[in-house]
Structure formats: C-alpha cells, structure tokens
Amino acid sequence: MIALIQRVTQASVTIDNKVAGAIGPGLLILLGVERQDDEQNAAKLCERVLAYRIFSDEQGKMNLNVRQSGGSVLIVSQFTLAADTDRGLRPGFSRGAAPADARRLYDDFTDRCRQTGIRTETGRFGADMQVALVNDGPVTFWLQV
C-alpha cells in the first residue's frame, strides 16, 4: 500500500463539477493499493501517515503530526501509484489490486482515519476527479508498507 502525502494549506477534489471533499491545512493523501495488500497494510499505513511529523513546531522544525497541528486529511484513491514504470514508455498496472479489493482497502484506510477523530474528507473511489491543492513547503513524501 502506498501513500503519497503532501502537506497542504488547502486541497479539494471535484467530481462532475461538484466539490466532493475539501480541507484547509493538513494532508492530501493519494492512496494506491497493490495486489498483496490487506487490512494489516491499511492499518499500518494509516498509523504511519497520521503520526508522520511533517508540520512545523514553534521553532519551525518538522516536529508535529497532522493531529498535533490541528490539520485535516483529504484521501484520494490513486491507482496509478501502483504502476510498473520500470520499462518502456507506457505504465503497466499488474501490480495494482483488483478494483473490489482496492475499494475495500481504500474504505478501510478511510474508516481508520475517521476513527481517530481527525477531520477526514474523501474523493470517490474510481471516479474521474480533479484535485486542487496548495502544497505547503513544498512538502511531499512517499510512504509504503
């Protein structure tokens, strides 16, 4: 399971010209699910993402996690993160989970985030989405379990 996380001052996801989810300061989480992933991966990645200390403390050091910073999260499914780009000029998607499995694990990850009490917004799994963000820093990390 892969999370591309970006510290943002704001982010939103639009589907069919309607905003499906929007946050102010916090994390935009682009989430990719691979074939071998299961609920344990979702739990471990969720815990890691939410605990990752990439927000500035009073001294300007990256020392706070999203909860400590008072931020929110916006989770967007991103199957292309699981792409095989090792060869050629066209990505392959054989590493990605089957759609039903990916949806189940995306929902599991999202539910786990919500259960922490952190404000959690989402896109819609499998939809054609337009994501807008203001990356703060810029700060972007690739986390994988």
Catalytic residue flag (residue 78): yes
Name the stretches of the chain with pLDDT < 50.
none
Distance in angstroms (rounded) separating the CA atoms of residues 67 and 89: 40
- pLDDT digit string, tens, across residues 28-52: 999 999 999 999 999 999 999 999 9
Which residues, listed in sequence order, are joined to residue 62 by a DSSP beta bridge? 56
Strands annotated E in the chain: 2-15, 18-23, 26-32, 55-56, 62-64, 72-77, 120-122, 130-144
- Kindly state which CATH superfamily the domain 2-144 is placed in: D-tyrosyl-tRNA(Tyr) deacylase (3.50.80.10)
The per-residue pLDDT for 127 is: 96
Is residue 68 annotated as part of the catalytic site, yes or no? no
Q: How many CB atoms lie within 10 A of CB 145?
A: 17
Q: Known catalytic residue: 79?
A: yes
Predicted local confidence at residue 123, as pLDDT: 96
Note the pLDDT of residue 11: 98
Could you say which of 6, 9, 59, 79 is catalytic? Answer: 79
| Separation CA 108–CA 33 (nearest Å) | 11
Instruction: Classify residue 89 by its DSSP letter.
Output: S
Please, are residues 8 and 27 in contact by the beta-carbon 8 Å criterion? yes
Tell me the three state secondary structure of residue 6: strand
Q: Tell me, what's the pLDDT at 103?
A: 98
Of 117, 134, 125, residue with least CA distance to 30: 125
pLDDT of residue 67: 97
Which is it for strands 72-77 and 26-32: parallel, antiparallel or unpaired?
A: parallel
Q: Select which of 80, 85, 115, 144 is catalytic.
A: 80
The full set of domain ranges for the chain reads 2-144
